[in-house]
Amino acid sequence: MSQIYTIFEQLASDNSRLAKEAILIKHKGNTTLQRVFYLALDPFQQFYIRKIPEYTASKTATFTLDKAMDNLDALNKRVVTGNAAIAYLKNILESLTENDAKIIERIIAKDLRCGVSEATANKIWPKLISTYPVMLASGYDQKLVDKIKFPAYVQLKLDGMRFNAIVRGQAVEFRSRNGREILIPNKSFAVPFIKMAEHYKQDMVFDGELLIADYAGKPVNRQTGNGILSKAIKGTMSDVEALQVMATLWDAIPYDSFKAGIDKEPYNIRMAKLSNAMQDMKTVNAQLGKYVALVWTEQVNDLYTAKRIFEKFLAEGQEGTILKSKDGIWEDKRSKEQIKFKGELECDLRVVDWEEGTGKNKGRLGALVCESEDGTIRVNVGSGYTDEQRNAYTKTVIGKVATVKYNARIQDRGGNVESLFLPVFIELREDKDIADMSIKIK
């Protein structure tokens, strides 16, 4: 049995983060293992194939695992694409032992199925995995709000999936907030982004939220919509579902600035350019407007008005708003010039264990045990699941990130760790690899 595959079996067999770290520390000097983690977890290493072709592994392998990884470079650089790429991958897989082929499958899928995050990999091998650039808004903090200069923008906070449309030349890639490829099987969906990039006359990254619309063009509820969008990350979205995908944008950054992690152009100028690009795109073809819209935005002169708008949206059942400084730059960090106004507390936690239910839930999910990324907060989340989710969520969800709604952060009865009061499951985050640290959880 392949040594690498054996290591992954060991990693998958123990749900403890410390145990996984101990296994990796033991094999820290294994350069092949290090390379597997790099290719599988680095967001800029993409192979543009989601469905593994049928193949028969070799009993007398002609490729080592390292040679197979060398050959993946042709997929990453798109030297071979389409059906030729599928045939190329099939040849690689059939040149390996069964267990080495399974490792290549996991690299292609960008999922090592062992519950090790990029943060853990970087802890063992510092700076091995690139961090995918993303600017996040800060949670509500009066000290930060007091520093916002007015007039400022208030924008509607959406209940969809964060995404980037990366346009280079005439090619468009859709990526989640952690850099995973989003496959939307509707070629027309890419067209408005190409047209908008032509307005800028350079490679661009458009930042926004994907939503699923019903047949009247209205966004469906969060669980339904994000359930469908999660299929796009897995590569299983249907052609019919793809026709329901729409995008709402709030920013656009030159590709070179995006990769560098900073763009110093003030936000009001970026927004004006994005609005102009969108108008040009609709002028070329008005039908393209059904795929892409600009986020609802209003300029406000004071905090009182910003809060009234937030309360209005909350009463209408919306998630909340974001207050944004007009002169804020774009940067790869949690910005202090963009502040979230939300009605309920939410956080993203890592699933560390699975518990079977009782009564009608006997034999299926009863609760997920979740932790903050640093292990300071630990909570059993037993409510919020549909019957379909209780049937579908097996122990394979361990290691994934889940969004949990709660009322307050509290001391656990045992006194060793903190917990959350009245936790309710919201969704699995296929678009996120790292959970929140406790310092970010109110």
> SS3 for 131-185, per residue?
CCCCCEEECCCHHHHCCCCCCEEEEEECCCEEEEEEEECCEEEEEECCCCECCCC
Statement to judge: residues 276 and 369 lie in one domain: no
Statement to judge: residues 154 and 224 lie in one domain: yes
Convert the pLDDT of each residue in 31-89 to its tens digit: 999 999 999 999 889 898 878 999 999 888 999 999 999 999 999 988 998 899 999 99
- Give the tokens for residue 124: 């063992």
Statement to judge: residues 306 and 253 lie in one domain: yes
Backbone angles phi, psi at 441, to 5 degrees: -100, 120
Query: Is residue 110 one of the residues assigned to a domain?
Result: yes
pTM above 0.85, yes or no: no
Query: Is residue 230 one of the residues assigned to a domain?
Result: yes
What's the confidence (pLDDT) of residue 393? 96
For residue 165, is pLDDT > 90?
Answer: yes
- Per the document, the length of the chain is 442
Statement to judge: residues 356 and 337 lie in one domain: no
Q: End of a domain among 307, 342, 377?
A: 342
Statement to judge: residues 426 and 369 lie in one domain: yes
CA distance 412 to 367: 17
For residue 218, is pLDDT > 90?
Answer: no
For residue 299, is pLDDT > 50?
Answer: yes
For residue 212, is pLDDT > 90?
Answer: yes
- Residue located via tokens 């040149």: 95
Query: Is residue 184 one of the residues assigned to a domain?
Result: yes
What's the confidence (pLDDT) of residue 200? 97
What's the confidence (pLDDT) of residue 178? 86
Query: Is residue 129 one of the residues assigned to a domain?
Result: no
What's the confidence (pLDDT) of residue 152? 98
Q: What number of other Cβ atoms are within 10 A of residue 369's Cβ?
A: 18
What's the confidence (pLDDT) of residue 430? 87
For residue 1, is pLDDT > 50?
Answer: no
The residue-averaged pLDDT of 294-303 equals 97
Element (H, E) at 252: strand 245-254
Statement to judge: residues 188 and 294 lie in one domain: yes
Give the number of domains in the chain.
3
Query: Containing domain of residue 65, as a range?
Result: 3-124
Helices (H) and strands (E) in the chain, counts: 16, 19
For residue 368, is pLDDT > 90?
Answer: yes
Statement to judge: residues 255 and 378 lie in one domain: no
Statement to judge: residues 174 and 219 lie in one domain: yes
CA distance 416 to 217: 49
For residue 109, is pLDDT > 80?
Answer: yes
- Model confidence at 414, pLDDT cuts 50, 70, 90, reads low
Average pLDDT across the chain, whole number:
93
Statement to judge: residues 409 and 267 lie in one domain: no
CATH number at residue 425: 2.40.50.140
Q: Are 108 and 49 in contact (CB under 8 A)?
A: yes
Statement to judge: residues 261 and 299 lie in one domain: yes
Statement to judge: residues 188 and 266 lie in one domain: yes
Q: Are 176 and 163 in contact (CB under 8 A)?
A: yes
The residue-averaged pLDDT of 416-432 equals 90
What's the confidence (pLDDT) of residue 122? 95
Statement to judge: residues 203 and 154 lie in one domain: yes
Least confident segment among 95-104, 196-205, 292-301, 427-436: 427-436
**Residues 6+ away with beta carbon under 8 Å from 10:** 23
CATH number at residue 334: 3.30.470.30
Query: Is residue 130 one of the residues assigned to a domain?
Result: no
